Amino acid sequence: MMLRKPFPFTGLFAAITVIAATGAPAPGETEKNAAPAAAAPRLVVSRLGQDVSLRGLSVVDDRVVWVSGEKGTIALSTDGAKSFQLRTPPEFATRDFRDIEGFDDRRALALAVGAPARILLTTDGGTSWRPVYRNERPESFLDGFDFWDDRRGIAFGDPLDGRFLVLTTSDGGASWTELPVADRPAAFPGEAAFAASGTSIRVFPGGRVAFGTGGTRARLWISEDYGAHWQSRPAPLRQGVESAGVFSIAGGGVGGTGEWVAVGGDYRADKERREVAFATRDRGLTWTAIVPPPAGFRSAVEALPAALGGGWITTGTAGTDLSAATASGFRFLSVEGFHAVRAAKRGDLVVLVGAGGRLARLVAGE
C-alpha cells in the first residue's frame, strides 16, 4: 500500500562526496535559507550521492553519524557528517533501509522495509552485516525502531492480521522477540504507520514509548512498560486518506519528559498547512495546534540542543522550519526539504537527510 512507499525517488548511488568544513560551507556545500534572522541557525547542505533517497539517520555524538536509504545504501561518518564512507551490505543492495540505529562507530542496526522484513547488525563498523530478525510474511513491513539505551530497544511494523507488529530486544539488537499477538495494538481497518523518517516511534525514560499512525485514523499509541501493554489516543493531525496522519513525534525537556510535538499531514498535498503540527503536555490526552504551523507537510520533528537555541526543527518535502517554542509557532527556515532530522544523542550536532543523497548540518548563526 502507498503508506509503505511515500514519495519515491529513483537513481543510482554515486561516489561519496568528501566535505571539509565546519561552520561555513565547504566546497560543494551551499546555504539555502529564506531570509535568516541575525544569529539564527542555518542549514549547510551537501550531497552523499546522486538520486538516492535517504531516510535512515542516527547521530550518535558530534563525531559519529550513520545514514541509510534505498539501493541498500548505508554510510558512516566519523567526522561529524563532513565526509562519509559507504558501508552497503553487498547481498542487500536492493533493499531500502528506512531506519538505522548507531551506538558507536563499530556497532549499528539497519532496518529494511518490505518483505521479508529484515533487521541487520554490524559490530565492525559496517565491514560485515548479519541478519538478526526476519519475517517471511509477504505483507510484513517494519516502520522504525528506537532504543532506551545500548541494550534495550523496540521496533514496530504495519498491522498483521489486524494488529501492529511489535518487537523488543534486551541484548542490543542481537536478537528480537515478537510481542504475543493478543497483546499487540489493534488497528482500525485502513490504519497503518509511516516509514518516512524513522521517527514515527520514540522512546522516553522509564520504559515509556509512543508511535503514531495514520490512514483512516490518526492515533498515538503509548506504552508505559517497554511495549508490553498499549493504549491509544486520538491525534488531531490530517487523516482519513492513506497518505495522511502522524509521521513523526518528538519530546522536549530532559530525556523527552516535557512537551511532545507531533507532525505530519498529507504528503500528497505537501503545501497544505492545516492539521500538520500539534503539541501535547499530557501524552496525547489533549492537543494544541501549533500556530503558525510549518509551511506544509512534515515527515520529521526533533528537539534542538541548547547550543542551537533550543526549541524545535521540523522538515519535509516542502521545506524546513524552526520554532523557539510551540506557543510562538514555527517560522520558515529553508525551501530545502528533507525526509529526516536527528540531533546527537550525546552532543550538539544536528543532521538532516533527504532525496537525491542530500544531507545538511544545522549550524549556529554568525
Q: Count Cα neighbours of 19 within 13 Å in the Cβ-side half-sphere.
A: 28
Cβ–Cβ under 8 Å, residues 137 and 118: no
> Which pLDDT tens digit goes with each residue over 110-162?
999 988 999 999 999 999 999 999 999 999 999 999 999 999 999 999 999 99
Q: ω before 116 within 30° of 0 (cis)?
A: yes
So where are the chain's domains? 29-363
Lowest pLDDT segment from 21-35, 66-80, 106-120:
21-35
Distance of alpha carbon 46 from alpha carbon 83, whole angstroms = 10
Query: What does CATH list as the number for 29-363?
Result: 2.130.10.10
Mean pLDDT across the stretch 26-46?
63
Strands 163-169 and 177-178: antiparallel
272, pLDDT greater than 70: yes
As a whole number, the mean pLDDT across the chain is 90
